[in-house]
Structure 1
Amino acid sequence: MTLTKELKQKQQPKQGMLENVMQQFENAAELINLNPNIKKILSVTNNELIIHFPVRMDNGEVEVFKGYRVQHNNALGPYKGGLRYHPTIDVDAVKALAMWMTWKTSLAGLPYGGAKGGIQIDPKKYSNAELERITRRFTYALGDNIGPEHDIPAPDVNTNAQTMAWIADTYMSTKAPSERSRNQHVVTGKPIGSGGLEGRDRATGFGVFLTIKFWAEQKSVKLKDKTFIVQGFGNVGYWAAHFLEKEGAKFVGVQDAFGTIVNKEGIEVEKLLAYTKENQGSIVGFSNSENIAKEDFFGLDCDICIPAALGNQITEEKAHQIKAFLIAEGANGPTTVEAEKILLEKGVAIIPDILCNSGGVIGSYFEWLQNRNGELWELNEIIERLNKKMKEVFIKVLNVAESKKIDLRSAAYVLAIERLERTYIQRGVFP
């Protein structure tokens, strides 16, 4: 590489998640010749909240935190989307994630719109008591910007069922006693004892596995003895690996925020999970594994690659290294537009995020219905419903991809945006 070319590459700003989602939207809008007026509406968010709020720490000092909630579109129903706690979060990232949620809920045929939010924080630096106070204060600051029929948060990166329980309790405590029980479904992903759905913890990872399984069935590929790698060994990565291992596939590499480990003979999923619980969440040092450099992860020999961490992980540079024949996007926006072009040219199939990880929001919908109707669903019923729903959506996407001779992401976007377009055409735009 010449010095001039190298300098040019360094000077070029990296494309962020917002640019990626907008480019994906533009491509799909062109494919379906989207009504220009509806395109204008879908190109922007409805509401963007940035909240600064003070919280007293364990040592008595006060820290001021920055929180976000972006509501992209609610043409199909209440806003729906997760809350993440991460130091890299900013308004552009949240806008991108909110737009992806709109496409995801539309594609899945759910009566929801899209939103996303979070707090700019590294949760590892705070005690559990501090995280509870931060969460409750953020919920109070959001006020009626969330609500069971308006905007329904859920867990995301570094948040969990406990986080949702704190939010639900705080939100309900601001309502009159007679109203509290009717506001339990202000969030989904709650603990079972607090109105949560049995199996909601595995819904996203199980959905990732299901889409891989459906894809393999359609391509007459047997998953037994196929090798796979996972980036991110949190809730999504663990459950996807758990179900793939049960299918006979071999887990040969994993990366988390602490490091990257490989074992060509296979890594036992449950043993690794037990190890991380005893090792502050880290995979580093797991027995019978070899540590490798972070930048070598996507170049590992494998059949299936599951990015299940953060966005923009598979870049143009990484795309050239990938040896997998299938990428299943457990994370939101893990593949940049430029990287996808390279991968498709190489013949790599990509199951897009708005299809691949939609098991989470479908599970959230089931929980919301369960709370709303005062019902209690059993695990086998939930798994059966999730399987049926995801297969139905997967087949629709595959049929569009094959009939229009386009890739799976473009097909998923076409279906999602056409549903929104129909809604706007039928209702009209309020003058």
Structure 2
Amino acid sequence: MSKNPFETALATLAEASELAGIEPNVVKMLSQPKRVFEFAIPMKMDNGELEIFTAYRVHYNDALGQVKNGLRFVPNLDLDTVKALGFWMTIKHAVGGIPAGGGKGGVRVDPSKLSEGELERLSRAYIRKLPMKGAWVDVPGADIGTSAKTMAWMLDEYEEINGFHSPAAINDKPAETSGTVGSMEATGTGAFFVTMEVIKDLGIPKGATVALQGYGNVGRIAARLLHQEGYKIIAVADIHGGIHNPEGLDMPELEAYVDETRSVVDFPGTTPITNEALFALECDILMPAAVQSVIHEDNARQVKARVIMECANGPVTPEGEKILQEKQVHIVPDVLTNCGSAIVCAFERTQGLTDSYWDLETVNARLKERIVKAYRETKATAEAKHTSLRNAAWINALTKVSKSMKARGWI
């Protein structure tokens, strides 16, 4: 069983490129990143001790434009994960019609063990030591363990280094620092827009049941919007544990509870549930919205959901997907479902470059238009090629990247 995320990405590349008729030299170039940076960040901690943190940045492919997005501060970060995430971001940008390449990176650290001052020093040090950066080269954004706050520190450090303002150099920063409204909610909002299209296409009735693994920015927003539309959230899990109520959870009450306790665990009126039990629940829609490789050959047979919306990056392994396809589970892939943030980050860069800023209604209207178009294009290719939505999304993306590589004379 392969749970290596980069092997998962390469397996999808192999299958989709064959279906799309992508020539071998393009596949060869896309089988490894264009640039890989691994660097040490030595930092004096509050107690006076020196810690040395390992940091990464991958420029996977920049045929469509500057690389963008994604910095993770997590304790288990490794290069294969960063490479996979950079590859998925390359595909995600192409799927979403964004003129940008895929970048990903981060630091191997547990941010919960850092003081506020240590987190700020580490954020600033990452940008200082990042070899290539800037609005036309590499635009980092937030991911797990980073936030609008850390991105604001990074922008400030970048501008201090260069001696001029450059709001388009960093994504996912607060609106107060020339960011965009709707940035932190974008992935969940985009996932909601795609889910509503899938619900319409499959004839899933209002009041249908949803189980959610992951209750960060993505899961929380998607669950809130689905609940407002009349869908029943019956289970939610976060990093600390899970909760279940077959009659449906009161999502506004749960949000208030999580704001107070920092976890869904022990929410009144629910019973505890593990991730594995959550994946096996009888439900209409399953939304893995946490980390990669959580549904695999060992647990895919227990999945009873009609639809899986991949809100996380690579939550289903290739082996798991084969089993789910045999069970006729409808899988909407990550590169489509969660590309809302990538789309809004493109809007953020555009606003920063033009010094013209949009309101939330404009951001969400343009996000909906862009992501629904991406879904419709993916669905059309899936039907034309008689293949999965994942393969269809990758076929469309690989075709765009391949054409740009050829036009540039790379192939």
> Which category of TM-score, normalised to the shorter sequence, fits these structures?
over 0.9
> 1:326 Cα deviation (Å)?
0.4
Aligned position for 1:76: 64
1:151 paired with 2:138, answer yes
Correspondent of 1:203 among 175, 186, 194 = 186
1:175 paired with 2:144, answer no
Counterparts of 2:39 and 2:62 in 1: how far apart (Å)?
Answer: 21
Letter of the 1:184 counterpart:
P
The answer to whether the Cα contact below 8 Å between 2:34 and 2:61 also exists between their aligned partners in 1 is yes
**Pairwise mapping of residues 207-286 of structure 1 onto structure 2 (< 5 A)?**
207-222=190-205, 224-279=206-261, 281-286=262-267
SS at match of 1:51: strand
Aligned position for 1:185: 168
> 1:82 Cα deviation (Å)?
0.4
Aligned position for 1:9: none
Aligned position for 1:364: 345
The answer to whether the Cα contact below 8 Å between 2:2 and 2:8 also exists between their aligned partners in 1 is no
Letter of the 2:207 counterpart:
D
> 1:146 Cα deviation (Å)?
1.6
The answer to whether the Cα contact below 8 Å between 2:213 and 2:275 also exists between their aligned partners in 1 is no
Aligned position for 2:371: 390
Aligned position for 1:7: none
Equivalent residues, number: 411
Structure 1: runs of 5+ lacking an equivalent: 1-12
Counterparts of 1:220 and 1:377 in 2: how far apart (Å)?
Answer: 34
> 1:264 Cα deviation (Å)?
1.1
> How big is each residue's C-alpha offset from its partner over 1:4-60, in whole Å with a ceiling of 9 and x where there is no partner?
xxxxxxxxx643101100000000111122111111111110111111111121112
Counterparts of 1:158 and 1:396 in 2: how far apart (Å)?
Answer: 33
The answer to whether the Cα contact below 8 Å between 2:167 and 2:179 also exists between their aligned partners in 1 is no
> 1:122 Cα deviation (Å)?
1.1
Aligned position for 1:4: none
> 1:270 Cα deviation (Å)?
2.3
Counterparts of 1:302 and 1:362 in 2: how far apart (Å)?
Answer: 29
Aligned position for 2:390: 409
> 1:265 Cα deviation (Å)?
1.5
Counterparts of 2:230 and 2:143 in 1: how far apart (Å)?
Answer: 28
Identity across aligned pairs (percent)?
39
Counterparts of 2:144 and 2:36 in 1: how far apart (Å)?
Answer: 20
1:340 paired with 2:340, answer no
Aligned position for 1:54: 42
Counterparts of 2:57 and 2:41 in 1: how far apart (Å)?
Answer: 14
Aligned position for 2:15: 27
Letter of the 2:366 counterpart:
R
Correspondent of 2:119 among 131, 134, 146 = 131
SS at match of 1:218: helix
> 1:184 Cα deviation (Å)?
1.5
Counterparts of 1:146 and 1:272 in 2: how far apart (Å)?
Answer: 40
> 1:429 Cα deviation (Å)?
2.0
Letter of the 2:353 counterpart:
R
Correspondent of 2:89 among 68, 92, 101 = 101
The answer to whether the Cα contact below 8 Å between 2:2 and 2:319 also exists between their aligned partners in 1 is no
> 1:294 Cα deviation (Å)?
3.6
Counterparts of 1:424 and 1:72 in 2: how far apart (Å)?
Answer: 13
Normalization by structure 2: what TM-score?
0.98
SS at match of 1:200: coil
> 1:220 Cα deviation (Å)?
2.6
Query: Structure 1 stretch 51-60 or stretch 22-31: which is displaced more?
Result: 51-60
Counterparts of 1:81 and 1:303 in 2: how far apart (Å)?
Answer: 32
Aligned position for 2:407: 426
Aligned position for 1:163: 150
1:45 paired with 2:33, answer yes
> 1:415 Cα deviation (Å)?
0.1
Counterparts of 1:270 and 1:84 in 2: how far apart (Å)?
Answer: 28
SS at match of 2:117: helix
Counterparts of 2:75 and 2:279 in 1: how far apart (Å)?
Answer: 24
Counterparts of 2:267 and 2:115 in 1: how far apart (Å)?
Answer: 26
1:318 paired with 2:299, answer yes
Letter of the 2:94 counterpart:
S
> 1:221 Cα deviation (Å)?
2.4
SS at match of 1:334: coil
Aligned position for 1:8: none
> How big is each residue's C-alpha offset from its partner over 1:174-205, in whole Å with a ceiling of 9 and x where there is no partner?
013xxx22x21111111110111111121100
> How big is each residue's C-alpha offset from its partner over 1:376-428, in whole Å with a ceiling of 9 and x where there is no partner?
10111111111111111111100111111111000000000000111122221
